[in-house]
A and B are shown apart, each in its own frame.
Chain A
């Protein structure tokens, strides 16, 4: 955890709503270590998703810089940013966002197909990932034949397909029951070890927080507090603030 995988410096983002610019981020300085699972918590509208979009190269900052795996994102063209998303980032969405017309294994293959990997290699990697998330038996099922938890695990497998440097998840358990949420976090933790991926998770869910190494609380576009989480899932410092942010 010595090396920084993600680093943001004075990150700002303003949106134009009508005539007035609305600040979403007001100077965020954040470092995420390699292999870390970082949770970002905070009330809605605090700028969590904006931060995730900026790290993921879906959006560009108004001011400040984002560096991921040594790459300065603001120096990339739109096309390069697309390639960055394909190869360096894995996204997990609250509502899974699987392609409904593709089977589980095809959904996992999709990023590799976009990266033009050989078909045999795609299939092998996709089946390995499905096995890792415990869904090898569901490889040929369509998304609507899977439960929410299963769909989200397929989505996690898809996010990891191209060996990304960082996996960004926006409320990954937001639509799941607690049992599915726990299973999902187990899968993520084991994949972190196997795939050496770094996770940044935006969440409201104590189950997710318990599996993080660290949580940052965001309020009004700033990181107001951060806490380390112990191996046993206990909040090591600033527990009160984390609790406030969660409940």
Chain B
């Protein structure tokens, strides 16, 4: 019974360490992902001759979601200007170290059923990762060429809905037939943006006659701390400029660092608390057995024999405790998501969809090994001092102990 209690002391300590470490790792990863989604693209690569707007205070939101060209991004296409860059740069940027994704976009102007609109040619596969999601009010994302998503205002003006055929071209008279697959709301009060549509990059290139050219490349880093490094790497490519959403990236970096520190501290506190629990149970267990130790010494056990007995016992207890503790820690870590409520991310798109409603602990092998090693080591180490004290006890005193 006493041994069971001692073992449970270690079990609780180890399980707590493991669960907290997993939570820290999971939340840290979640935070990273969350931040990546919130801040939209971190770097916008544009032709170096493209004029840029100052970012400060000008909260230009291209889409209702995260905001593609957030603060200081390139506005090249806004003017329909010819400041393009070669599409092949996307691959070379994507191959740079630290780059999570690079997504090309061509901003141009054109006519939908004779109405002048801004046309954004994007790569649907990477755009949502690099820039942001559109907030669809109906329909779906682009899935192939020949499709167009329209702003809700534009759609209303034209009197079209999902499934309608529209004529899209570079001028008000000609053009090709496109199917409206989605309607999105811009959430913007910036007038001209209400008149916009999204289509596949190749369609936009066809319409504007700029095959193989793009006006912006949106870049996301694997880690927001790498943004500045990537930007300066991109700047070494001639003809382009990397505009960093500096304020956002900066605070994101700070936030990530703060979170990391926070979780390291929580982990350390967990380790410390667990270790003290183990030491405490070990000390109590040996303290309670003083008379047993006195008996052993009286009937002729050497100090070394007593030490060995208690150390091997501590070792065994530490090992069993750590094993069971890791097991329970794993079970709890897996159980936590379902215990902390249903997923909040289903259905909703855009910013809201990225705020997780539940805890998602991440079990890393490092944390598993760390908590196991710590549990067993602390168990043994915690046994050393009491065992030493036990072996050195005056047998007469120890026997008198009740």
Contacts and interface: CB of A to CB of B under 8 A. Distances in A.
Interface in B8-62: none
A93 B300 CA distance: 14
Nearest to A82: B302
A18 interface: no
17 contacts: A58-B396, A82-B302, A82-B303, A83-B302, A85-B299, A86-B299, A86-B301, A89-B300, A90-B299, A91-B298, A97-B294, A97-B399, A100-B292, A110-B299, A114-B300, A114-B305, A115-B300
Nearest to A88: B300
Contacts of A84: 300
Contacts of B302: 79, 82-83, 114
A204 interface: no
A53 interface: yes
Given A83-B302, A114-B305, 4 more contacts: A58-B396, A97-B292, A99-B295, A111-B299
B298 A56 contact: yes
Interface string B283-299: 00000000110111111
Nearest to A100: B292
A214 interface: no
B308 to A, nearest CB: 11
Given A58-B395, A58-B396, A93-B399, A114 B301 contact: yes
Interface residues of A, number: 25
B396 A114 contact: no
Contacts of A114: 299-302, 305
B309 to A, nearest CB: 10
Contact of B292 (A89, A99, A158): A99
B75 to A, nearest CB: 80
A87 interface: yes
- Give the size category of B's interface with A: 10 to 19
A100 B291 CA distance: 11
A145 interface: no
Contacts, number: 51
B300 A158 contact: no
Query: Is chain B's interface secondary structure helix, strand, loop, or mixed overall?
Result: helix
A76 to B, nearest CB: 13
Contact of B297 (A79, A82, A87): A82
B286 to A, nearest CB: 14
A53 B400 CA distance: 12
A159 B395 CA distance: 16
A99 B298 CA distance: 13
Given A53-B396, A100-B292, A58 B299 contact: no
A84 B291 CA distance: 20
Nearest to B303: A82
A82 B292 contact: no
A111 B297 CA distance: 11
Contacts of B295: 91, 93, 97, 99
Interface in B254-304: 291-292, 294-303
A237 interface: no
Nearest to A158: B299
Interface in B300-342: 300-303, 305
Interface in A78-108: 79, 82-87, 89-91, 93, 97, 99-100
B20 to A, nearest CB: 34
A14 B177 CA distance: 113
Nearest to B395: A58
B207 to A, nearest CB: 86
